[in-house]
Amino acid sequence: MIYAKSLMKDRGVVLKSPREIDEMRVANRIVAEILEAVKEIVRPGITTDELNVFAEERLRKKKAKSAFKGYRGYPKALCTSVNSQVVHGVPTKTPLKEGDLLSLDFGVYCSGFYGDAAITVPVGLVSEEAMKLKEVAEKALYKGIEKVYQGNRLSDISYAVQSFVEGNGFSVVREFVGHGIGRSLHEEPQIPNYGPPGVGIKLRAGMVLAIEPMINAGGSEVKILQDGWTAVTKDGSLSAHFEHTVAITETGPVILTSLDG
């Protein structure tokens, strides 16, 4: 199995010292604060472009840099993925509508390190299905984080996410995965949100992982739109995305992109 092999190579994994993990708090705290601030201004009628401008202004005030803008030519600081858009939705001048389900993905570079997180938020009142999808995606992220202890294997995270999501009748996106993070936005290892337990590299204190389940209400298949960025579900079903940057310490996971530390 190709992916199981790639799970095995821990050569590229960069371990961080406790001091470096502390330094990573700066960028990651800014991610958490700005995402929360963006969430608070989401409402029907606002455009995703306006959300992006707001996020970029906050970044400037913090003297921090976007992790995404310019990354492989990505044009904005924020990814805004609406309804059947899975990830990498590019902000537009189209106003959000009551009932939309909006995923916000945001990354920051500051003090030598990257931080990365995503949330999914309802725009006004949303359908019961949308609300359940959002809640299962968020809980799936925490199911994954619960496995982030040294001695566990990488795919214990994957299995925890997949079994929870599928147990709730939804599907897990395969084409995109979580990742190590540190002095680069994307480091080893790749972290699939599916797979059997007990496979892949052993988790060790000093690893910092961006865990990010992307889940669909219908089938798991996605396609990329003409713009070369926006990933959407093939069947048009709703999609949700949550992400945290998590450090593995001797005593367990520390969520660096959480507002309460």
Q: Which of residues 62-81 bind ligand MF3 (CB under 6 A)?
A: 68, 71-72, 74, 79
Which partner from the list ligand MF3, Co ion, none does 170 bind, CB cut-off 5 to 8 Å by kind?
none
Q: Would you give the binding string for ligand MF3 spanning residues 178-217, x where CB under 6 A is met?
A: --------------------------------x-------
Residue 107 engages ligand MF3 in binding (rule: CB under 6 A): yes
- The span from the CA of 228 to the CA of 237, in Å, is 20
Give whichever of 152 and 193 is closer to Co ion, judged by the CB atom: 193
Q: What is the largest CA-CA distance in the chain?
A: 48
Residue 88 engages ligand MF3 in binding (rule: CB under 6 A): yes
Residue 58 engages ligand MF3 in binding (rule: CB under 6 A): no
Which partner from the list ligand MF3, Co ion, none does 74 bind, CB cut-off 5 to 8 Å by kind?
ligand MF3
Identify the DSSP state of 125: S
Give whichever of 92 and 128 is closer to ligand MF3, judged by the CB atom: 92
Give whichever of 31 and 126 is closer to Co ion, judged by the CB atom: 31
Q: Which of residues 175-194 bind Co ion (CB under 5 A)?
A: none
Q: In what order do the strands lie in the sheet with 214-216?
A: 171-172, 214-216, 239-241
Contact region for Co ion (CB under 5 A) — 74-82, 96-104, 127-135, 208-216? 208-216
**At which residue do the structure tokens 């003090």 appear?**
111
Give whichever of 210 and 222 is closer to Co ion, judged by the CB atom: 210
**Under a CB-based contact definition with an 8 Å cutoff, are residues 79 and 69 in contact?**
no
At residue 86, φ and ψ (nearest 5 deg) are: -90, -60
Nearest to 7 by CA among 225, 159, 221: 159
Residue 210 engages Co ion in binding (rule: CB under 5 A): yes
Non-local CB neighbours of 184 within 8 Å, separated by 6+ positions: 114
Beta strands in the chain (DSSP E): 65-66, 78-82, 85-87, 101-110, 113-122, 171-172, 178-180, 187-191, 208-211, 214-216, 222-224, 231-233, 239-241, 244-249, 252-255
Which partner from the list ligand MF3, Co ion, none does 79 bind, CB cut-off 5 to 8 Å by kind?
ligand MF3
Contact region for Co ion (CB under 5 A) — 76-84, 91-99, 116-124, 222-230? 116-124
Output the smallest distance, CB 45 to Co ion, in A.
Answer: 29
Residue 164 engages ligand MF3 in binding (rule: CB under 6 A): no
**Under a CB-based contact definition with an 8 Å cutoff, are residues 109 and 98 in contact?**
no
Which partner from the list ligand MF3, Co ion, none does 88 bind, CB cut-off 5 to 8 Å by kind?
ligand MF3
Q: Is 116 helix (H, G, I), strand (E, B) or coil?
A: strand
At residue 226, φ and ψ (nearest 5 deg) are: -50, -30
Q: Which residues bind ligand MF3 (CB under 6 A)?
A: 68, 71-72, 74, 79, 88, 105, 107, 116, 210
Residues that bind Co ion (CB under 5 A): 116, 210
